[in-house]
Amino acid sequence: MTSGERSPLEQLLHGLNQPLTGLQCSMEVALASPRTPEQYVHSLREGLELTERMRALVEAIREVAEVEGETNTNKEPETIELAALLREVVDELNPVAEVKSVRIRLDGSAEFYVWVRGGRRRLSGLVFRMLESVLSAADRGSAMQIEMSGVAKVAADVTGAWVRIRWHSGKQQGEFSRPGLGLLVAQAGWESVGAKWERERAENLETVMVWLRGVPASRNS
């Protein structure tokens, strides 16, 4: 099973195995025979690094578990205007983007309404976590492009909507780096509200696509 076929929680649990095994091996080596003080210090530093990685993974696992717990207690879906919410989150992140010299471009001015379990507050948190993670991963001085649109009807009175984020990262971020963990948590959140998540990388260009169930704007006008 590839990482693309695993759920975010499965990927995190799989990722936890590597530093856990590394920590065990490091401790076994340190105890196998007498070592110099410098070698013990090196082993301790290595152990601390592995422990920090495990802490970050466990924290992400906890967040994903909380997301899944919220899903089980959600009320009926709420209809939310997606474009306005995206603009609000972008405005909130603009000061951080300016410090990093990353330009945020938001394309798509039409109104797109989506059904989301858990309401506006939950969707706002998902959008913020996703865009903040992308901003952390983006190269300094580059651009983050956010596009949104609706698609053809998938039922008599139901449409789809999508959000696509593209950014450049010259140095490929590790799957379990801080931004990588944030995107995994965001993926779990989106999937918990019924969205489809896609992520790909071509050279230094990364893309995340989120497909959502939508409703015609005329319903809410």
Task: State residue 122's pLDDT score.
Answer: 83
pTM of structure: 0.81
Beta bridge partners of 104: 144
Please write the tens of the pLDDT for every residue from 163-197.
Answer: 899 999 877 666 788 899 999 999 999 988 888 89
Task: State residue 4's pLDDT score.
Answer: 56
- Phi then psi for residue 34, to 5 deg, are -55, 140
Asked whether residue 155 carries a pLDDT value surpassing 70, the answer given is no
Task: State residue 146's pLDDT score.
Answer: 94
Reduced to 3 states, what is the DSSP secondary structure of residue 78?
A: strand
Which of these CATH numbers, 3.30.565.10, 3.40.640.10, 3.40.50.720, 2.30.40.10, describes 78-220?
Answer: 3.30.565.10
How would you class 92 by CB atoms within 10 Å of its CB: exposed for 0-12, middle for 13-18, buried for 19 or more?
middle
| Higher per-residue pLDDT: 117 or 188 | 188
| Higher per-residue pLDDT: 211 or 174 | 211
DSSP class per residue in 156-183: SS-EEEEEEEEEE-SSPPPTTSHHHHHH
